[in-house]
Structure 1
Amino acid sequence: MYPDTLASETGNMEDEVCYSSVSFVKSEEIKPREEQSVETQSEETVYTEVKKTGIQAEPSPSQTPADDGPLPGRPRCHRAVVALGLLTAALLSALVALVAYLQLRYEDASIANQRLHLKMVQLQQEKETLRMERDHLSMTLGVIFQFSDFPVDHYCPISGNSTQDRKCSRPCKEGWVYYQSSCYQFICSDDFYWEDSKNHCNKSGAHLVIIDTKEEQAFINNHTKFYYKEYGYWIGLQKTEDKWQWVNGSELIGGYWITNEKHKCAATMPSSDPLKSWKAKDCYYRYRLICEMEATVWPD
């Protein structure tokens, strides 16, 4: 009968254990705690007591694997994504800064190229100006060297008293008249023989006037005036071996004669008809004279 008694006592003990466990759980639920803490503590206490008594308790429906907390790899993945985003933002910022820097450098280089181009153009213009000034000076010296005694005051007068600068631009010497690339001097102060008139013109680098065209003849006649009856101006025409020749050796063809008989030297007389003003005169008459020389062409 002993075994029955042992079994009966064992059963009583299990009942007491279960009862004490239930009483323990109830006493724990009465304690004033937060709702989530009480539930968690009760479940842990029941699990512990059941394990001691060998009774297997079924898991609570709310205690699922999904509620065991976040998986170990999820925080690491989140940190990696954040780090990757930060790295991408940093790279984009660096790229934007690099593009802005390159754009600034490009603009600076473009401005520098424009300034260099303008400087090159300016230097080229200065070079061209210097070349033109050099050529102008060379041509000016070429004109001056044509004279054995250059009359600088006649051709290159002082342009300003303050600077004393000279400008060589006159085609004719002072007191001479310019017409169709020639300069003419009408000597009205003294009377000369024809030969003396020729020498006087030669001393000034000119010659007695040579009339080639109707226009020149009209110009000469318009610049002569009466001063005595039958007094005129010697021109560079003389008869040699019954032929009229100009002082440069060329033979006269035609002419604007009033009369050309008897005498060997020619003078132009002031006339109302410019195409009839020449007269043959004795070479020892004392007349006024007209000198002619080529006009000086200065470089522009």
Structure 2
Amino acid sequence: MSADSVAAPRLSLNVRYNRNIQENSGEEEERKVEILEDEEHHADLGPQRARPHTQNNSAANNRRCFKATAVTLGGFYLLMLAGLFIRFTLLQTQYDQLINNNSQLQRSYKTLSVNHSQLQNEVKQLKNRTEEKWCSDGSTRLGRSCYFKSKEEKTWSGSRADCQQRGADLVIINNKEEQKFVTELSKDGESWIGLQYERSQGWKWVDGSPLAETIWASGLTHYEGYPPTCCDQQGKWTQRYDSEKKNGICEKKI
């Protein structure tokens, strides 16, 4: 059944009703018509009144959604800030611990350095005392050797034997400093030194090392059988007969 067929009987009924009213009283007819018109007017206004209400509900829903989103984002940001703060606190704690450990290591290093210096001084003092014991009986120390001048004059061979009996040998001069030192020891007269001549090897020291630096006096012929002595007035080496008797300069390695 269509919508027009349903509405038609209602329209005819309203018309018949209105006509009956017209026969009885013209005033009542006008009232009914007005009522119908008002009802139709109110019926027409119904959808118009509903539209603002629907719009208000939509705006309210939008506000609620925005508010819920803002609250959610705010909570998320607060959680992020809390996590960053905790992370920063942990890093700061670790940094403070590293600084403290570094300070402790520096203090330990300074303590070890002081102890090391003290040990070095003690070792040096002990070494000096030991060397002094080795250089006793009137000997004089220079570097790693003790030097002394024999009290009895003997030939070169006899002076060397005397040095060897005391755990030493005739002096071996390796540098200018040692040459100056030996010159001071023999200032009271020439003394035998540990230099000898061999036909197969030439001049060499008593320990077998070759002669590297010579401090010969000028005008010497360097005869083979003439062992050298130290020193003349100019601090140079000279030669004497091996049968002559001289003091010997002995050197004892420490």
Q: Please give the TM-score of this superposition, normalised by the length of structure 2.
A: 0.51
Question: Which protein, 1 or 2, shows the higher relative CO under an 8 Å CA cutoff with sep ≥ 6?
Answer: 2
Is the counterpart of residue 56 in structure 1 residue 34 in structure 2? Answer: yes
* CA deviation profile, 1:119-150 (whole Å, cap 9, x unmatched): 9999xx9xxx9xxx9xxx9xxxxxxxxxxxxx
Quote the offset at 1:166 in angstroms.
3.2
Quote the offset at 1:287 in angstroms.
1.7
Quote the offset at 1:75 in angstroms.
4.8
Among 162, 177, 183, the alignment partner of 2:142 is 177
Is the counterpart of residue 198 in structure 1 residue 164 in structure 2? Answer: yes
* CA deviation profile, 1:162-194 (whole Å, cap 9, x unmatched): xxx43479799445223xxxx443315844733
1: CA distance, partners of 2:97 / 2:119: 43
1: CA distance, partners of 2:64 / 2:210: 113
Is the counterpart of residue 289 in structure 1 residue 249 in structure 2? Answer: yes
RMSD over aligned CA atoms reads: 5.4
Unaligned stretches of 5+ residues in structure 2: 1-20, 133-139, 154-158
Q: Residues 217-256 of structure 1 correspond to what in structure 2 (within 5 A)? A: 218-220=179-181, 222-227=183-188, 231-239=189-197, 244-250=203-209, 256=216
Quote the offset at 1:84 in angstroms.
0.8
Among 148, 166, 170, the alignment partner of 2:123 is 166
How many residues end up aligned between the 2 structures?
Answer: 203
Judged with a 3 Å threshold, the aligned counterparts in structure 2 of structure 1 residues 186 and 167 are, in CA distance, closer, same or farther, namely closer
Judged with a 3 Å threshold, the aligned counterparts in structure 2 of structure 1 residues 225 and 255 are, in CA distance, closer, same or farther, namely closer
Judged with a 3 Å threshold, the aligned counterparts in structure 2 of structure 1 residues 220 and 109 are, in CA distance, closer, same or farther, namely same
Contact 1:261 1:280 (C-alpha < 8 Å) held by counterparts: no
Quote the offset at 1:218 in angstroms.
4.4
Q: Which letter maps to 1:186?
A: Y
Percent identity over the alignment is: 15
Contact 1:240 1:264 (C-alpha < 8 Å) held by counterparts: no
2: CA distance, partners of 1:287 / 1:157: 42
Quote the offset at 1:282 in angstroms.
4.6
Q: Residues 18-37 of structure 1 correspond to what in structure 2 (within 5 A)? A: none
The equivalent of 1:25 in structure 2 is none
Judged with a 3 Å threshold, the aligned counterparts in structure 2 of structure 1 residues 10 and 241 are, in CA distance, closer, same or farther, namely closer
2: CA distance, partners of 1:168 / 1:66: 116
Contact 1:268 1:277 (C-alpha < 8 Å) held by counterparts: yes
* CA deviation profile, 1:180-223 (whole Å, cap 9, x unmatched): xxx44331584473311234353xxxx4322356x357434553
Contact 1:184 1:290 (C-alpha < 8 Å) held by counterparts: no
Quote the offset at 1:247 in angstroms.
0.9
Contact 1:265 1:280 (C-alpha < 8 Å) held by counterparts: yes
1: CA distance, partners of 2:78 / 2:47: 47
Match of 2:164, SS state, is: helix
Q: Which letter maps to 1:278?
A: T
Contact 2:190 2:246 (C-alpha < 8 Å) held by counterparts: no
Quote the offset at 1:93 in angstroms.
1.1
Contact 2:149 2:185 (C-alpha < 8 Å) held by counterparts: no
The equivalent of 2:68 in structure 1 is 87
Q: Please give the TM-score of this superposition, normalised by the length of structure 1.
A: 0.45
Judged with a 3 Å threshold, the aligned counterparts in structure 2 of structure 1 residues 112 and 169 are, in CA distance, closer, same or farther, namely farther
1: CA distance, partners of 2:181 / 2:124: 29
Match of 1:186, SS state, is: strand
Among 224, 233, 237, the alignment partner of 1:272 is 233
2: CA distance, partners of 1:216 / 1:249: 21
The equivalent of 1:99 in structure 2 is 80
